Structure 1
């Protein structure tokens, strides 16, 4: 087949390997100028993310920043979604420590263009020319592996060939047919599983021997020959071998794989040599832990059907009703991004839907809303309905996911509400945290960072910043310490300063206190009512500095709203804000320690005299990435309920 080639995107998952990207991926992209490049960064450190961000910006590559390490397969899924959304018709899945030249990529592309239901790989060689992979056989009688080129012919064994995920190319059509990688493998064996599912979907596998790639052994997870490998390598290879058996094999083959579990685990550890077994306990620990974990997953998988269910749309009931104009924009944007995701079927909350509908996941945000009411009768009725909902979720095996917006239960609630909410907490399957600093002990959880507001605010005109203008906006509660801001500002005597405070106080008493504090100072203007989006954009963009002096700041949409409008912020010094400062770049997040003072306000304004340049980097907070990560969380929660996840 000749003629123009389909648009192709390379998807590369990075985990602390920016130096390899600079060497290998740069060479791949230079050899194939028409190739789109998507880099998924599985977070290791702020410095590594900054290095990857700089590299991607310099090369014109698309960066998808995951707030945590979601694993190889899930990382590829994030990158593939971004590549396909950008228009790619073929996907090149490539390790950071692998490279291929332009002619090899063209050969792979032409084979797939001629048959979109074939997944292909090149002959992969080491840097010294040895064949590293040209197809591998999985022996179904015991779960061992051997290069396909070494397959015996007499007698013919029961084998199935698989292709290494170090370098694969497949079409959009085939990717959609198999649903991408299975999130449960995390690392290793996800390519074995994918190869099996390609055949199950009616596709085929092929090694294109006219195309070659080079693989730097051990460039990422310590895979090189002749030296010890990482405990991660051992544990997940051992674990996932048994997970694969539980998912794909019949009872007789599963029994054989269980019988050979320890010998095969020992063989996997021996890939790193014998000396390591005498000098470290890590290989032994990984061997035992991987085997026990794998046996548990095998038993659970054998009792259930495969969770594709895992590859199909997930039916999600949210805990919020249809949004209204005054609804938190976070809810609006979450609803919109999940509505747009092809693998999520979303429903908003009503008691009728909750108690009669069929859903795979119930996703709660502020569950306390479901157990309160405007009158004692309404509150009692809601609490009865809440009990009925919990029992129905439990009996139907519906996964319960909760986003941790607040660490503690609300203050001032009744004993009955406390009991109901703690009951709900115990029955929650999986938690979603919206920053990496939230400590959730040993509970299953995923991280989906709070998205930005750039698209949300885009329709509203901005004001020009006023020198010396400070601003606070948002719902006013006592813990947000707006009274402290007013007192600190009044102590600053510079007549060139001004302060705007906008937002609805949570009580009449608080409104009266703030009005009294602001009244004597003509430099202070207030609008103690709900701010429309247009009013918020005007107030924030007119400020030289947004000040959010919360006494407790864990997750603040206000900080992201200000940054989305390219306004610097002054916030308390804590771990969350320190991490955010490293993420968005210098000059945008300013902090103070202890109570807010006039000196904190004036010294921060002095540092901003020149103003930060450019825009804060909010690339890690794109809502399409948030949708993908929510889907990952929903699928994991379903697997936990089914007994096939961990």
Structure 2
């Protein structure tokens, strides 16, 4: 995976950009399959668990390590890593995700075969593969968000009109590209020229929503965004829901609404519709899973999670209260 302009100066085809924070226990799986085949640039966001020392001691000069003196968040750290990248393609990769050089080859070959594609991703298998949602999807419109929050997007396998904000795995065909509006920054391949044209990720958010916003900008600028499902990556996450008492993270939803307001400049009524349909959709799903939990207790975690999303959506501010860009 090395392109050579001159024999003495090898230029990497792909530069992998990784941001770490307390990632010592997972980072090895992300790096081991890539060392020697890709340029790797890693920004450590001041991890107190010794991630940076572990990377330096284990990989030495094979990984370009940048030690941040503070936690920059995802977007700022990725943008900083990109300043050191030399590859024709930039691969954003989470520290708890992994793919090997063969699957990177599949992605770069696919992008070359589809010259209109500026941003792409493999099929990212979450956990043990039990999740229906893919790390890709469509714009966060009122319609798409209602289909997602209510669960009606499961009918999208019969007609694309019913696809929600997230693409579902049974809505793709294994040997055909799926053209979408966004792919996750957890495993995203971007042509360097596209990255430079768009100026990297928006630093408006500490994390979450910046990948959706970047892809929407790429799409508006004329590039296609695609999932090539014959390439595979793996993301290590919890494989099942539980009913633990820990807080449910809703920042992804809050930032998505912020993006919706920032990008589409909705009227007060339009924004209220977004908040309302998302709240009602998640509340309905929570009620269904609460009933199912009486038979199968494992569903209690899902019911609690969807209820938290419903409350978060209902409490979002009016567009007048959202800071401008």
Same fold (TM over 0.5): yes
The yes-or-no answer on 1:135 pairing with 2:136 is: yes
Number of the residue aligned with 2:53 = 50
Q: Secondary structure at the match of 1:112?
A: helix
Q: Structure 1 residues 158, 248: closer, same or farther in 2, change over 3 A?
A: farther
Q: Structure 1 residues 291, 61: closer, same or farther in 2, change over 3 A?
A: farther
CA distance in 1, matches of 2:189, 2:68: 23
C-alpha offsets along residues 502-540 of structure 1, whole Å, 9 cap, x if unaligned? xxxxxxxxxxxxxxxxxxxxxxxxxxxxxxxxxxxxxxx
1:257 paired residue among 274, 280, 304: 274
On the 8 A contact 1:125/1:132 being kept in 2, the answer is no
Q: Structure 1 residues 127, 261: closer, same or farther in 2, change over 3 A?
A: closer
- How big is the shift at 1:21? 0.8
Q: Structure 1 residues 289, 71: closer, same or farther in 2, change over 3 A?
A: farther
C-alpha offsets along residues 182-211 of structure 1, whole Å, 9 cap, x if unaligned? 212222222222221110121111111221
CA distance in 2, matches of 1:210, 1:197: 26
C-alpha offsets along residues 370-407 of structure 1, whole Å, 9 cap, x if unaligned? xxxxxxxxxxxxxxxxxxxxxxxxxxxxxxxxxxxxxx
Q: Structure 1 residues 70, 299: closer, same or farther in 2, change over 3 A?
A: farther
Q: Structure 1 residues 285, 233: closer, same or farther in 2, change over 3 A?
A: closer
Number of the residue aligned with 1:433 = none
CA distance in 2, matches of 1:152, 1:139: 19
CA distance in 2, matches of 1:178, 1:99: 26
Q: Structure 1 residues 127, 287: closer, same or farther in 2, change over 3 A?
A: closer
The yes-or-no answer on 1:105 pairing with 2:104 is: yes
C-alpha offsets along residues 449-487 of structure 1, whole Å, 9 cap, x if unaligned? xxxxxxxxxxxxxxxxxxxxxxxxxxxxxxxxxxxxxxx
What pairs with 1:52-91 in structure 2 (closer than 5 Å)?
52-57=55-60, 60-83=62-85, 87-91=86-90
What pairs with 1:295-334 in structure 2 (closer than 5 Å)?
295=317, 298-301=319-322
Number of the residue aligned with 2:121 = 121
Q: Secondary structure at the match of 2:83?
A: helix
Number of the residue aligned with 1:350 = none
2:188 paired residue among 148, 168, 175: 168
Number of the residue aligned with 1:493 = none
2:255 paired residue among 223, 228, 240: 240
Number of the residue aligned with 1:9 = 15
Q: Structure 1 residues 273, 109: closer, same or farther in 2, change over 3 A?
A: same
CA distance in 1, matches of 2:313, 2:73: 16
Kindly name which structure, 1 or 2, has the bigger radius of gyration based on alpha carbons: 1
Gaps of 5+ in 2: 5-10, 165-179, 290-297
Q: Structure 1 residues 189, 69: closer, same or farther in 2, change over 3 A?
A: same
TM-score, L = length of structure 2: 0.72
Q: Structure 1 residues 55, 241: closer, same or farther in 2, change over 3 A?
A: same
Q: Structure 1 residues 255, 290: closer, same or farther in 2, change over 3 A?
A: closer
The yes-or-no answer on 1:151 pairing with 2:156 is: yes
Number of the residue aligned with 1:528 = none
On the 8 A contact 2:125/2:232 being kept in 1, the answer is yes
Q: Secondary structure at the match of 1:234?
A: coil
What pairs with 1:67-466 in structure 2 (closer than 5 Å)?
67-83=69-85, 87-114=86-113, 115=115, 117-126=117-126, 128-130=128-130, 133=134, 135-138=136-139, 140-142=141-143, 143-144=145-146, 145=148, 151=156, 153=158, 156-157=161-162, 161-218=181-238, 224-227=239-242, 234-249=249-264, 250-251=266-267, 253-263=270-280, 274-275=300-301, 292=315, 294-295=316-317, 298-301=319-322
CA distance in 2, matches of 1:289, 1:124: 27
Question: Quick one: higher RCO (CA 8 Å, sep 6+), 1 or 2?
Answer: 2
- How big is the shift at 1:128? 3.2
Q: Secondary structure at the match of 2:47?
A: coil
- How big is the shift at 1:158? 7.8
On the 8 A contact 2:22/2:50 being kept in 1, the answer is no
| The structure with more strand, counted as a fraction of residues | 2
1:41 paired residue among 38, 41, 44: 44
Of 117-126 and 282-291, more deviation after overlay is shown by: 282-291
CA distance in 1, matches of 2:262, 2:109: 33
Gaps of 5+ in 1: 219-223, 302-642
TM-score, L = length of structure 1: 0.39
CA RMSD of aligned residues (A): 3.8
On the 8 A contact 1:235/1:286 being kept in 2, the answer is yes
